[in-house]
Structure 1
Amino acid sequence: MKPVVHQDRAALVGAAAGSLEALIAELVERQGRATIALTGGSVGTELLAALADRPIDWARVTLTWSDERFVEADSSERNAMQAREALIDRVEIPSASVLELPAADGRSLDEAAEAATAMLRELRPIDLTLLGMGPDAHVASLFPGLPGVHAEGTAVIAVRDSPKPPPERLSFTLGAINASDRVWLVVAGEDKADAVARVLGGADLAEAPAVGVAGRLETVMHLDAEAASRL
């Protein structure tokens, strides 16, 4: 995992947005499409907002999510809803190219996980998975001490008893994350500094799930100076 340190949060967001714009252009030119798995969180949402006015060929981009809160489809807690407000509703991207993970619409959490796994397996290989990271070193909705960290296979799993509300979520397994060609973590804030140091120092997977992240071609942790302050 390669750390890249930026001066501050704004510089981090701007640089990551520029890198993502360039990557999408490269992928579209080389293979005709780009498939991106988005993340939630405040920095992830700021990154999406920074893309809205950039000259990206959104007609050739497919979007999905590496995790989602299992709440109603119109809930402001959903990563997809936040992404729509920040980016998706502001650009010309076909609705069929926006693949949300299931909402709480009457099916069970396990049924939703099965449906999301089927959707994941029908996707072309994911070119880039974006991730945030919590102060506990969780990624997606894979939290320390919960069994999802050790779930095997390329799948979307049901997460219960999340230490962050809401308690029920859907999440890529580490196998699904690591099936992506590239994984970029976007991490800002002094409250993440200890987790960053532990992850880059090789902490135990069960205690710091981000340690298990590795894209097939590239794994980068974009940091602001505060998040990198204990390196």
Structure 2
Amino acid sequence: MREGQRRILVVEDELTIAESIAARLRAEGFEVELAHDGPSAVAKAEQVVPDLIVLDLMLPGFDGLEVCRQVQAHRPVPVLMLTARDDETDLLVGLAVGADDYMTKPFSIRELAARVHALLRRVDRSVDHFGKRPGSTIVLGDLEIDPVERRVQRAGEPAHLTPTEFELLAHLAGRPRAVVPRERLLSEIWGWTDPAATRTVDSHIKALRRKLGADLIRTVHGVGYALEVPK
């Protein structure tokens, strides 16, 4: 592995798909490791310490949700989840256990590579931005956000957020009560401009509400979302 090279773990039981993803990511300059079932994915993640995981939902052994739970319990790592089922319940559960983004099969390998780059840029941007603001804890009522340590708690109770959930919450907390359009959130957090992809924003908002309380983020129908200052 070259100095500065990012390592991606691809977890996919369909070998043709796994090799296609790996070939494209290697061509993009990444080092790629492969796993084809749940138990080996968890073991491989511990062994190689990837910078990002591309994770299929349906796997032998145990599924991608359990892989995500076990991996995220050890260290936060960005996860792009792949699912053959366009089922919102599955996607929300995936987000709740630590996935940052998802794609529904069939998908474009080129689009997947673009999503990987965007997710890594988002993590890098967060580190660069917050690293320059030591001690800048955001306190809004009973909500506390520590940008440096990337910790969040509400009413003294810690919440485990994925990198993307943290970015989304911090973005809304930077302008409390202001309504931010879904398209703007998609552009500024995910780096996308596709209006059809705003469902991704909706899914992450639902995950934040599940973890931090339904009253924290207000929906302005047809427009976007606003963070309410909790009491």
TM-score > 0.5 by shorter chain: no
Task: Point out the structure with the larger helix share.
Answer: 2
Q: Which has the higher contact order (CA 8 A, sep 6+)?
A: 1
> Which of the two has higher C-alpha Rg?
2
TM-score w.r.t. the length of structure 2 is 0.32
TM-score w.r.t. the length of structure 1 is 0.32
